[in-house]
């Protein structure tokens, strides 16, 4: 009986491991051929601006609380997996309390304006103290690879991975090229809308909207309030 139970449990373990591996064996684009010489830390595509000093503020409700997200393109750069990337800080508060601060690493291909995502360093807060670094990853570390953040020429139906790490596998689908939205910062037409999911978080879906010449204007439930150049 013990031998039968052992074999059964072993089969379950193998099946679970195969399922986890197969979570990354799909048709979403994950291979990106770029050159070290073509990726730079500053630049602009139609839907994202990597310009040091740029600050975007978003507000809305999250978990029933008043949330504020501040995205700042820092003057700081960081070498990640051999690429020079721009550090973009995201700081979120809920009901005035600091919840998360992340330092994200981006680079832009100067040829086609594709913007790639090379990882993030995350600090999660509770009662003013750091309690974890959940979600942190970096291309070139523990087998992680960079992903595509925003293509220079978005196409309807595009599907690609933004994160390629053991515990970070966010992937994006472009679901609209003609989205309209009103925010405290203004009304925007002909926007692109993306649908974000992850094979390791089934059922979790987030939507983002990007306006031409502006960038991100809606991050799930949060809407753009102001932009400071």
| Tens digit of each residue's pLDDT (9 = 90 or more) over 188-221 | 999 999 999 999 999 999 999 999 999 999 999 9
Give the rounded percent of residues in the chain with a pLDDT score beyond 70. Answer: 89
| Tens digit of each residue's pLDDT (9 = 90 or more) over 136-174 | 999 999 999 999 999 999 999 999 999 999 999 999 999
| Tens digit of each residue's pLDDT (9 = 90 or more) over 60-95 | 999 899 999 999 999 999 999 999 999 999 999 999
- Return the CATH fold of 28-228: YmcC-like fold (2.40.360)
pTM: 0.87
Report the C-alpha gap between 170 and 185 in whole angstroms. 28
Segments making up each domain of the chain, as ranges: 28-228
Q: What is the pLDDT of residue 8?
A: 40
Nearest to 192 by CA among 154, 221, 161: 154
Nearest to 41 by CA among 140, 123, 115, 148: 115
Report the C-alpha gap between 213 and 5 in whole angstroms. 61
């Amino acid at each position: 009986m013990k031998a039968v139970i052992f074999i059964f449990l072993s089969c379950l373990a193998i099946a679970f491991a195969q399922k986890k591996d197969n979570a990354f064996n799909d048709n979403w684009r994950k291979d990106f051929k770029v050159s070290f010489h073509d990726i730079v830390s500053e630049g602009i595509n139609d839907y994202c601006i990597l310009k040091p000093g740029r600050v975007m503020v978003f507000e809305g409700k999250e978990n029933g609380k008043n949330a504020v997200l501040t995205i700042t393109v820092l003057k700081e750069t960081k070498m990640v997996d051999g690429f020079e990337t721009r550090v973009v800080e995201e700081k979120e508060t809920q009901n005035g309390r600091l919840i998360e601060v992340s330092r994200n690493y981006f680079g832009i291909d100067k040829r086609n304006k594709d913007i790639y995502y090379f990882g993030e360093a995350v600090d999660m807060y509770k009662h003013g103290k750091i309690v974890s670094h959940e979600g942190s990853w970096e291309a070139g570390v523990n087998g992680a690879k960079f992903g595509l953040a925003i293509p220079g020429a978005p196409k309807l139906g595009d599907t690609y991975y933004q994160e390629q790490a053991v515990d970070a596998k966010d992937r994006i689908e472009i679901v609209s090229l003609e989205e309209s939205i009103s925010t405290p910062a203004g009304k925007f037409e002909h926007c692109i809308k993306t649908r974000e999911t992850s094979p390791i978080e089934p059922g979790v879906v987030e939507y983002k909207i990007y306006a031409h010449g502006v960038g991100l204007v809606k991050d799930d439930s949060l809407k753009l309030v102001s932009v400071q150049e």
